[in-house]
Amino acid sequence: MSRSLCLIADVHGNASALEAVLKDAAKAGCTDYLSVGDIVKRGPRPQECVDLLRQVKTKSWVMGNHEKTYHDMLADHDPHTQGVKRIMEIILNAYDCFYLNDLTYQWLANLPYLQICQFEGLKIAIMHALPNKPWGNETNPRSDQVNFDQMLAQSTADVAVYGHTHKQLMRYSTQDRLVINP
Ligand SMILES: [Mn+2]
């Protein structure tokens, strides 16, 4: 039986949407799953989102900028948000902290930025935005080519999969390696 991959980005605590996506993926014959981060935050059911991805045995768990805020807040240090946005982060993190079980919260706060997976002879680099920086505006669809090249610069992966921008994209690196945002 041939295998096919379902790429999942930026679920943001929306478990009902994720349920619908997983149902569609199963119907389409997907056998394997990759998650590129921002599983939580802003939606009401973060724990269910993690549980659903565990159920389908997703092959990747990488840190998004929202999981990164858990990490920063646990360390009492948040270099990325200020002012009103900082207040929003504190409230949303408190919500998620309440609804996630403690182990899951801690675990999400310490996910890696980059994961490499093998799939059907392909080496896939999975990240939220850039391999060393799961936040920022560098990976928007209209960004310079150099940013997309950077996704694969430090690895021999054939494909880079990322999310973050909430904009679907498929393009190539300068070395003709595929870059996908689902
Ligand atoms: Mn993001």
Say how many Å lie between the CA of residue 18 and the centre of ligand 1.
16
What are the helix (H) ranges across the chain? 15-27, 46-55, 65-74, 83-99, 102-108, 145-153
- Average pLDDT, integer, range 111-127: 97
Q: How far is the CA of 117 from the centre of ligand 1 (A)?
A: 21
Would you state the structure tokens that stand for residue 115, as one six-digit string? 């994961």
State the chain's mean pLDDT as an integer: 95
Asked whether residue 133 carries a pLDDT value surpassing 80, the answer given is yes
Domains (range + CATH), the chain: 5-181 (3.60.21.10)
Looking at the whole model, is its pTM more than 0.75? Answer: yes
Q: How far, in Å, from the CA of 30 to the mean position of ligand 1?
A: 24
Residue 37 has pLDDT above 90, yes or no: yes
Expressed in angstroms and rounded, the spacing between residue 69 Cα and the centre of ligand 1 is 11
